[in-house]
Amino acid sequence: MPLTSTDDIVGPAYAGTYGVGAFNVVQIEHAEAIVAGAELAGLPVILQISENTAHYHGSLAPIGLASLALARAASVPVAVHLDHAESVELVREAAGLGFGSVMFDASKLPYDANVTVTRAITEQCHRADVWVEAELGEIGGKDGAHAPGVRTDPDEARSFATATAVDALAVAVGSSHAMLTRDAVLDFDLITRLRDSLDVPLVLHGSSGVDDTDLAKAVTAGMTKVNISTHLNKIFTRTLRDRLRTEPAVADPRTYLGPARDAVAAEVARLLGVLAVR
């Protein structure tokens, strides 16, 4: 199947009021697992590569090109997205490689500065036919900055979306990045007010901390794109540990990375079903 644009996945979900999963790739096994899970579920998916992951690999190209190749070979629609980029140069590189979308994160800046830089990025990306997500109201937990009380104001969000012309907006509604437990308390009323205030899809970051019931409720309340990373990493690592514990003499990485990849694929398929609620 040809590489799918993020807009062709998120747009119909937004119009149809159902959710789509966006899962973070750390290494090629993650990308393979996410695509396999989407094919198992028969549903579209978004592969996300963060700025931190690009740094881990030394540059964006190795893991980015691998993800693009997997997306093009998939039997279901798969998009490739740059997640939490603070570097303008990295955004340009992603567009040049063929990524269909970027999440440019200037949420740490004062509001006016966030608007100015995000608007400039959006204009550049739209000229390259690249879809843009931005963030308003810092999501707790990113790079150790835990801000559980932060919430996005609907009026400010509407003004921001209009001023920047972004295609989607990540909002702070009670979730937090890198949570190891699934007990985040979301403000569903705020999600609905944000949905009613904006004309762009809403994105839920920090969704690893949200349980299945509340993920479905968040979609029903108005979320469209749902980002999940840590939850899958926990499953990957737990499966790998179990394999090494039962076979301590194993030397071939494929014998423990393979089962971890399969476990993530199964969870991706399950989560996509949870998010597809209408």
Catalytic residue of the set 7, 8, 83, 212: 83
* 212-221 and 188-197 helices, crossing angle to 10°: 30
75, burial (CB in 10 Å: exposed 0-12, middle 13-18, buried 19+)? exposed
What DSSP string runs through the chain? -PPPPHHHHHHHHHHHT--EEEEE-SSHHHHHHHHHHHHHHT--EEEEEEHHHHHHTTSSHHHHHHHHHHHHH-SS-EEEEEEEE--HHHHHHHHHHT-SEEEE--TTS-HHHHHHHHHHHHHHHHHTT-EEEEEESPPBTBTTB--TT----HHHHHHHHHHH--SEEEE-SS-BTT-SSS-----HHHHHHHHHH-SS-EEE--GGGS-HHHHHHHHHHTEEEEEE-HHHHHHHHHHHHHHHHH-TT---THHHHHHHHHHHHHHHHHHHHHHT--
Instruction: Assess whether 83 carries a catalytic annotation.
Output: yes
The closest alpha carbon to 205, from 54, 61, 80, 50, belongs to 50
Residues tagged active-site? 83
